Structure 1
Amino acid sequence: MPANKHTYLQIHPADNVLVALTDLNAGTVIEFNGDIFTLTTPVAAKHKFTIAAMQSGEDVHMYGVLVGRMSKPAQKGEAITTENLQHASDDFKLSSRKTKWHVPDVAASYRDKTFMGFHRADGSVGTGNYWLVIPLVFCENRNINVLRDALSAKLGFAKPRGYETEVDSLVQMYKEGKTTQEILQADLELSPEAQATSKLFENIDGIKFINHDMGCGGTRTDSEALCGLLAGYITHPNVAGATVLSLGCQHAQGSILQDEIRKRDANFSKPLVMLEQQKLGTESNLLHEALKQTFAGLIEANKQTRQPAPLSKLCIGLECGGSDGFSGISANPTLGYLSDILVSLGGSVILAEFPELCGVEQEMSDRCVTEQEAQRFMHLMRTYNAKAEADGSGFYANPSPGNIRDGLITDAIKSAGAAKKGGTSPVMAVLDYPEKVTQPGLNLLCTPGSDVESTTAEVGSGANVVLFTTGLGTPTGNPVAPVIKIATNTAVFNRMPDILDINCGTIIEGEETIEQAATRMLDYVIEVASGLKQPKAVKLGQDDFIPWKRGVSL
């Protein structure tokens, strides 16, 4: 008897492999397009299998594009693996503009909806109200930490950890002479959730203390890019003001930062404290001044309150990490549908991770509204890949062991699914890191595939909310923008409920459509943007921040 047709899927009519939606045993009978055949090997959920015998060198298509080439023959009904498939993708060139797109039917129902945000002088609207304390160079990281220890708890911004009781138990067992084995086998009493101190400034969502390892010692290009990234955070709509600590002699000079701020906001008027240690002398002079001026800035920032704003003021970063074989058929196309809704309302979305657009370059360049933007996209893709290959790698090396284990066995397979986050709307602008989004609609931003580096960059370019899909689970967050984690499958959602916010495994199980999941997700985004709900990454204080060094990071 043939297997249930809901246990496997052809993603695109041109595909010559099927995706297993559940684990399928060898011998399972498959009925597809009037043909009946038997699986010759087991096929794990999320992996692919052939629908005809394939020869070495034969092309494999998924999502309607070339995603690999057979490295050895395969029987009909055989699993596609790293043993029989190698990365391959089509070349790309400048072609005609293809900017027609599907405006979702539900978009009209969101036309008059608003979120409660913080309105800035430059016309942008924040989904949060944060104060930043950041170093221009890694030499100031310790002083940043001293300020954090002095300010966070006293002002009510420290995130309670709640594991002190467990540590007390371990200490007590050690004092009692328990053996290592007894300690390892002990059941520790879980701490009750610690209560945060009441906030002194009720309209400020947090003081964020950021560390990094850049600013000097690397290339001048890296230092200049760092200043651009930091300027993106300082001018970000979710940021009310900032304290910047500089040593004084580093490559990343305060004057460069000021220039980058003016590029992004010519009339910048937020409170900005910039202090140079080599001018102020002693550490105590620096820190005393930083404490006083930061506290004064917080008083001003606290005067701002949430006010209604149209959804067109949302700028959503589209991100994925710990992806699996379901990413491209559940969570990512859901983000794509939500992206199209937001674009139709005049909002902005950012699709990044250029190593994960390998194989779909032709489609993305054709969707650019002008030939100039298409040329820029193709140039950035070729330059980036060439640099990777010169350093002994290439985009083909992007998939991680976890990606491969869960069905993404070539970069082109991973990319074809990752691109679904961008929906169907035209590409309005192509940006190079760390440029700022200035156009409504779909923006392509050159970043690495590394999810924390890419998320850091998207927020630096203006994303005031990030939607992050994952099939394997990741705690990734950001200091100033809420990162909403979306599971591609129900198993990981149930296994890691402490870090995941939304489940799109319901699509795989046939419980809801992509369209239904997208509207459910957008309603959640509006609540998060209004400060009514906190994603798990915000609750946990998962403040990941990694600037991109323009070397190779896949």
Structure 2
Amino acid sequence: MTTAVATAAGPPPSPLIRLHENDNVLIARAPLALGQAVPELGLRMRAQVPAGHKIAAGRIAAGEKIRKYDTVIGAAMRDIEPGEHVHTHNLELVDFDRDPGFCEDVRPVDYVPEAERATFMGIVRPDGSVATRNFIGLISSVNCSATVIKQIAAHFTPERLAPYPNVDGVVAFAQTSGCGMSSPSEHFDVLRRTLAGYARHPNLAGVLIVGLGCERNQVADLVASQGLVPGPHVRTFVMQDTGGTRATIAEGIAAVASMLPAANDVRRQPVSAAHLKIGLECGGSDGFSGITANPALGAAMDILVRHGGTAILSETPEIHGVEFMLTRRAVSPAVGQKLLDRLAWWEAYTRGHNGQFNGVVGPGNQAGGLANIFEKSLGSAMKGGTTPLQAVYEYAETIDKAGFVFMDSPGYDPVASTGQIASGANLICFTTGRGSMFGSKPSPTLKLASNTAMFTRLEDDMDINCGLILDGALDVQQMGERIFQHILRAASGEPTKSELLGLGDHEFVPWHMGIVS
């Protein structure tokens, strides 16, 4: 990769960024005005171009492939002159066959010896799992019990929790499904797997599952089918048996109160970074996301994997067009093929709809300089770093392999993050270029800004400014190390910006993939 990003000691950054010597587009580091001189190209700008957008590095003939990071992101719809703005008005999506190249780019990982691995201050549970937070969770089996669990959680105000300083809170995971759905069905299985993943999550010291009584997702069947073991730390209530809304709220408050002393009886202790499972997300991406935040997060994940940890890439529609970047890193053809099978499923699932998988990206992505899903996917895939792809998982399936893995999910951030947490992620890293206001519980979210202007404008929401790469203050590897150190602090209990703002109570969104009847 070749870039025009300077170091702090180097010359002032160029107004244009060349990402690879084979690219025929350049990226505007800052807004470019109509008629502005561009010394690198020996011409004046033919249009006003926003920051993060592309301009032609030379003449591009109609039908010629347009390359960014030496990867095809589309073709010219017409002749494009040097210095001309390249975007949705003159760049079209063109699909083409790709060689999956299974296992061709697998490189050995230089693992850090166990005795020398980085550590964080974690909470070790009796089963040996490690928590980064310490909540009591309330789970509704069906939408009909959502109000009840919210009322129970609302009772436990900061004042009432003050005697339990080691408890991070009581949080309600309400959801909108659980009945009026096909059962058995894939949707039904996914919902149960998601709820169970939260119920057994290390970040929950105790769990209360509440159902109505007549729903398809029966509480007793949910518990039995998912291998959950009722006891002091896993309690269940059925509203129709307990006496209705008011009685269930009262019983639920008493049940949570009985859990609090044991939940509070924990102490953080040094544990290996190998216990970290990081969900990787991006939202509100812009033209800088694939230059700064995403590759820097990928560098941090390479460090995490070397220390024995796990990096979870998801959002299957957002690797469409660049899946070969992952299949070539698959540890076996079977792992690579499983990823391709999920993409084929998505192609069928979204056929006939205006979904992102079919090429269209959101208005914010387009305004930020991303023309289509291939270009967005190119940046999204970088979050996973460069280490081998160890495994591919279904949505909310328990992740049992360390290293870099992939979990199938939609690209919608709350749904993807919900699946990652259900799979075992104990922290989420979320990159954004436009500014995404997201937080999650029981696993905290760190938000990484792709550019300094947005970070400064939204500093209350952003944790890390990856725009320092664009500014020439740090390179990608240095920023990756900074991100890794921030992850260790957040995992040790340092509040993230989203936690300080109280986000996470409404971001539990299981994947609703089936019909409603």
Superposition TM-score, scaled by structure 1 size: 0.86
- The structure-2 alpha-carbon separation of the partners of 1:409 and 1:270, relative to structure 1 and needing over 3 Å to count, comes to farther
Distance 1:152 1:252 in 2: 30
Give the drift of 1:394: 5.2
Give the drift of 1:95: 3.0
Is the 2:210–2:219 contact (alpha carbons within 8 Å) kept by the matching residues of 1? no
Which residue identity is paired with 1:316?
I
> Residue 261 of structure 2 is aligned with which of 292, 299, 311?
299
Distance 1:494 1:41 in 2: 28
The match for 1:252 is 217
The match for 2:373 is 411
Distance 1:376 1:257 in 2: 28
Q: Which runs of 5+ in 1 are unaligned?
A: 157-198
Distance 1:37 1:256 in 2: 70
- The structure-2 alpha-carbon separation of the partners of 1:29 and 1:377, relative to structure 1 and needing over 3 Å to count, comes to same
Give the drift of 1:86: 1.7
The match for 1:547 is 510
Distance 1:102 1:515 in 2: 19
Runs of 4+ in 1 over 4 A off after TM superposition: 102-105, 107-110, 267-270
Is the 1:99–1:369 contact (alpha carbons within 8 Å) kept by the matching residues of 2? no
Residues 1:86 and 2:47 aligned together: no
Distance 1:60 1:252 in 2: 50
Residues 1:463 and 2:463 aligned together: no
Q: For residues 218-229 of structure 1, what are the structure 2 equivalents within 5 Å?
A: 218-220=181-183, 221=185, 222-229=187-194
> Residue 24 of structure 2 is aligned with which of 13, 16, 20?
16
Distance 1:257 1:372 in 2: 31
Give the drift of 1:37: 4.1
The secondary structure found in structure 2 opposite 1:444 is strand
Deviations 1:343-380 (A, max 9, x none): 11110010011111011111211211111111110010
Residues 1:378 and 2:343 aligned together: no
Residue identity over aligned pairs, in percent, reads 34
Residues 1:204 and 2:204 aligned together: no
> Residue 512 of structure 1 is aligned with which of 450, 454, 474?
474
Is the 2:119–2:273 contact (alpha carbons within 8 Å) kept by the matching residues of 1? yes
The match for 2:313 is 351
Which residue identity is paired with 2:214?
C
Distance 1:392 1:142 in 2: 34
Give the drift of 1:281: 2.8
Distance 2:155 2:379 in 1: 46
Give the drift of 1:391: 3.4
Give the drift of 1:110: 10
The secondary structure found in structure 1 opposite 2:160 is coil
> Residue 149 of structure 1 is aligned with which of 151, 154, 158?
154
Is the 1:72–1:84 contact (alpha carbons within 8 Å) kept by the matching residues of 2? yes
Distance 2:333 2:230 in 1: 33
- Count of aligned pairs between the two proteins: 501
With 420-429 and 120-129 compared, the bigger mean Cα shift is at: 120-129
The match for 1:426 is 388
Which residue identity is paired with 1:457?
G
Distance 2:71 2:114 in 1: 34
Is the 1:121–1:269 contact (alpha carbons within 8 Å) kept by the matching residues of 2? no
Q: Which runs of 5+ in 2 are unaligned?
A: 1-10
Deviations 1:164-189 (A, max 9, x none): xxxxxxxxxxxxxxxxxxxxxxxxxx
Distance 2:49 2:96 in 1: 27
With 515-524 and 422-431 compared, the bigger mean Cα shift is at: 515-524
The secondary structure found in structure 2 opposite 1:391 is coil
Higher Rg: 1
Residues 1:214 and 2:177 aligned together: yes
Deviations 1:215-255 (A, max 9, x none): 11133332331111111111112111111110112122224
The match for 1:486 is 448
The secondary structure found in structure 2 opposite 1:319 is strand
Which residue identity is paired with 1:547?
P
Give the drift of 1:260: 5.3
Distance 2:128 2:369 in 1: 44
- The structure-2 alpha-carbon separation of the partners of 1:366 and 1:268, relative to structure 1 and needing over 3 Å to count, comes to farther
Is the 1:468–1:483 contact (alpha carbons within 8 Å) kept by the matching residues of 2? yes
Residues 1:239 and 2:178 aligned together: no
Give the drift of 1:4: 7.3
Is the 1:467–1:486 contact (alpha carbons within 8 Å) kept by the matching residues of 2? yes
Residues 1:314 and 2:276 aligned together: yes
- The structure-2 alpha-carbon separation of the partners of 1:331 and 1:150, relative to structure 1 and needing over 3 Å to count, comes to same
The match for 1:45 is 51
The match for 2:4 is none
Which residue identity is paired with 1:133?
L
The match for 1:60 is 66
- The structure-2 alpha-carbon separation of the partners of 1:10 and 1:439, relative to structure 1 and needing over 3 Å to count, comes to same
Distance 2:232 2:481 in 1: 35
- The structure-2 alpha-carbon separation of the partners of 1:478 and 1:237, relative to structure 1 and needing over 3 Å to count, comes to same
- The structure-2 alpha-carbon separation of the partners of 1:58 and 1:287, relative to structure 1 and needing over 3 Å to count, comes to same
The secondary structure found in structure 2 opposite 1:145 is helix
- The structure-2 alpha-carbon separation of the partners of 1:4 and 1:117, relative to structure 1 and needing over 3 Å to count, comes to closer
Residues 1:115 and 2:120 aligned together: yes
Give the drift of 1:104: 7.9
Give the drift of 1:29: 4.1
Give the drift of 1:309: 0.6
Distance 2:350 2:365 in 1: 20
Distance 1:384 1:480 in 2: 29
Is the 1:5–1:31 contact (alpha carbons within 8 Å) kept by the matching residues of 2? no
With 478-487 and 276-285 compared, the bigger mean Cα shift is at: 276-285
Distance 1:110 1:495 in 2: 42
The secondary structure found in structure 2 opposite 1:6 is coil
Deviations 1:269-296 (A, max 9, x none): 7710111112223333322322222211
Give the drift of 1:312: 0.5
The secondary structure found in structure 1 opposite 2:351 is helix
Which residue identity is paired with 1:239?
L
Give the drift of 1:487: 0.7
**CA RMSD, Structure 1 to Structure 2 (Å):** 2.3
Distance 2:436 2:231 in 1: 37
Is the 1:117–1:529 contact (alpha carbons within 8 Å) kept by the matching residues of 2? yes
Is the 1:14–1:64 contact (alpha carbons within 8 Å) kept by the matching residues of 2? yes
The secondary structure found in structure 2 opposite 1:390 is coil
Deviations 1:519-545 (A, max 9, x none): 1121111111111x2011111111111
Superposition TM-score, scaled by structure 2 size: 0.91
Deviations 1:380-433 (A, max 9, x none): 011112211233545134511011011011111111011110100011010111
Distance 1:99 1:122 in 2: 37
Distance 1:270 1:90 in 2: 56
